[in-house]
Amino acid sequence: MTKPKIRMHAEGQVSVYVGDGFSNFLTGLGMADIKASAATYVPHFAPQELEAAYRTSTWFGKIVDIPADDATREWRVWQLKKGEVEKIEAEERRLGLKAKVRQARIWQRLYGGAALILGVPGDPAEELNPEDVGRGGLQFVTVVTNHELTAVDVRRNPLDPFYGLPERYEIQTTLKGSVHIHPSRVIPFRGVQVASVANLTDFWGDPIWYRLESAIKSADGSGAVLDALLQEAKVDVLRVSGMMQGMATAEYEALMVRRFQMVAILKGMQNVMMLDKDDEWAQKQVTWTGLPDVAKHILNILSGAANIPMFRLTGQNLTGLNGTGDAETRAYYDDVRADQNTDMRPTLDPLDNVLVRSALGNYTEETWYEWM
């Protein structure tokens, strides 16, 4: 049993600290100096590193793209009269809405935020009344990242019905400089939401890199190690008498280089190893036992951290000889459907209110759709 620690304060108060009920001096269990006590969690954010990882990492780009692809691939089916459905679908195609929502979802995961800006007539700084939008009134939709669009004066009064939303957005343009945009004209896609006590003014959220950095680097690192081992899977080892002494002169060094170049050529062409009588030759081979299992285990950790099943991440079913992956497939696509209904649907509602009016000229409460 760990003894209580008594601390006397200047004010005369006494504090009693009781440690873990079980301790082991040799292993460090229950002690203050266990190895894990030095572990800390520090968020690391560098936009340049995110972009470099997205472009070059074996896994990070796929982890960012896959959920966005799966949530928008089949898109949605409008439940209206046939002629009205065709008009809305034509309006979506004209605006390139499906591709732009997909891009916003990718940037939402990559950078921690993105937005769609609605191109409708009127002063962008003024509140948009959807009822003022007529047929063809939604002229364009622009997708931007949270690094281009600044949320200004985030409302922090819990009694405000718009609590947590900005008073306005600002974006830098080439011709007009800073332009104010009313929130009613912006559809924000916010990143991972964290109630940060260190930054109460943050609006957008975190990129998924915060949660995946360690797993991503482990997976990429293991692949690099295996690649390096492949290069050294079989190495010829030659022992030459007096080599180190002879390498002191440039003539001997050049002679040795030419000699073993010829040895390598003959071995590659004729499969013959020609050496001096006193030279010794041997081969060093890498033992692969256990390495594939370690690599699979690291990928399993990455798959769990990314919430993407192994079959979708790697294109292979690694559940075992008797595994079909059906349960993982159903669970994953159930998550995709839940994300469509709990996150994407309410995010797109203000956009659809304008989109339908632009396609049909009006909007009714009977207007709805289903995700495919």
pLDDT in tens, 235-289: 777 788 888 878 888 888 888 888 888 877 877 776 777 777 777 777 766 676 7
Local confidence band at 321 (pLDDT 50, 70, 90 cut-offs):
very low
Single pTM value for the model: 0.76
Task: Find which of 7-16, 26-35, 282-291, 353-362 is predicted with most confidence, using mean pLDDT.
Answer: 353-362
Residue 293: predicted pLDDT: 82
Helices (H), 232-325: 243-246, 250-270, 291-306, 310-314
Scanning the structure block, which residue is given the tokens 């896609």? Answer: 189
- Among 1-15, 69-83, 204-218, 245-259, name the one with the lowest average pLDDT: 1-15
- Among 12-21, 123-132, 240-249, name the one with the lowest average pLDDT: 12-21
Q: Residue 130: name the closest of 348, 359, 356, 354 by CA.
A: 354
Which helix (DSSP H) or strand (DSSP E) does residue 236 occupy? strand 234-239
Structure tokens of 164? 């947590």
Local confidence band at 296 (pLDDT 50, 70, 90 cut-offs):
confident
Residue 44: predicted pLDDT: 65
Residues 6+ apart with CB under 8 A from 199: none
Give the CA distances from residue 355 to residues 88, 94, 278, in Å, rounded to whole numbers and listed in that order.
8, 11, 85
Residue 43: predicted pLDDT: 67
Structure tokens of 222? 């293991």
Residue 24: predicted pLDDT: 65
- Among 73-82, 115-124, 148-157, 227-236, name the one with the lowest average pLDDT: 227-236
**Range 44-54 average pLDDT:** 81
Across 63-221, the runs of DSSP E, i.e. the strands, are 76-78, 113-119, 140-145, 149-154, 166-173, 177-181, 186-190
pLDDT exceeds 90 at position 169: yes
Distance, in Å, from the CA atom of 53 to the CA atom of 79, rounded to the nearest integer, reads 41
List beta partners, residue 280. Answer: 239
Local confidence band at 10 (pLDDT 50, 70, 90 cut-offs):
low
Average pLDDT, the chain: 83
Residue that wins the pLDDT comparison between 328 and 3 = 328
